[in-house]
Amino acid sequence: MCVVARCNDSLGTRGRRIAFGLLAGVSLALGLGFVAAGAWLVLPYSLIEITVLAAAFVCLERRAREWERLIVQGERVIVERMRGGQVDRREWNRRWLQVQTMVGRDGGPARMVLASEGQACEFGAALPEDRRGEVARQLRRLVGN
């Protein structure tokens, strides 16, 4: 069994760059238009707006590269997670693993938590709730609890 979870990336890198370019271009054009009309104080605000927009798009790009993978291989259950350019890997004995589903905070979607040997790890935050429940059921059958 292998499950890979990623956040929705409907635009893709190229689409994000095009969207940023269009938004930054419109903002800069408006700022320069106001400068030509004599309202030069608008341009610094346009530049600040473009900077904040660039920071938001950088955060979106980083988030698009994040993923989680759950692998059941023989007697091992492996969870790998890519966050911030770092891969975190946790490994458990399949027979000792407990699969728990917990109601989210404030009645939000249920969370799937894998626990064993004093370690706990949430998996599937990027999965839709129904798919997360299906993965939890399949995993419970495989680990025997």
- pLDDT of 114: 87
Q: At 51, is the pLDDT very low, low, confident or very high (cuts 50, 70, 90)?
A: very high
Distance in angstroms (rounded) separating the CA atoms of residues 123 and 110:
11
**Same domain membership, residue 91 and residue 38:** no
Nearest CA among 34, 28, 63, 21 for reference residue 49: 28
Q: Give the chain's mean pLDDT.
A: 87
**Same domain membership, residue 78 and residue 92:** yes
Q: At 15, is the pLDDT very low, low, confident or very high (cuts 50, 70, 90)?
A: very high
In a domain, 1, yes or no: no
CATH of the domain at 127: 2.30.29
**Same domain membership, residue 87 and residue 57:** no
**Same domain membership, residue 138 and residue 83:** yes
Q: At 110, is the pLDDT very low, low, confident or very high (cuts 50, 70, 90)?
A: confident
Of 64, 90, 106, the position where a domain reaches its end is 64
> Phi/psi of residue 100, each to 5°?
-120, 140
Q: At 23, is the pLDDT very low, low, confident or very high (cuts 50, 70, 90)?
A: very high
Distance in angstroms (rounded) separating the CA atoms of residues 102 and 74:
27
- Judged against a pLDDT cut of 90, whether residue 144 lies above it is answered with no
Residue 138 half-sphere exposure toward CB, CA atoms < 13 A: 13
Nearest CA among 15, 51, 16, 11 for reference residue 31: 51
Q: What's the whole-model pTM score?
A: 0.69
**Same domain membership, residue 97 and residue 40:** no
Domain count, the chain: 2
- pLDDT of 19: 95
**Same domain membership, residue 75 and residue 128:** yes
- pLDDT of 104: 66
Domain of residue 125: give its range.
Answer: 68-143
Distance in angstroms (rounded) separating the CA atoms of residues 98 and 90:
14
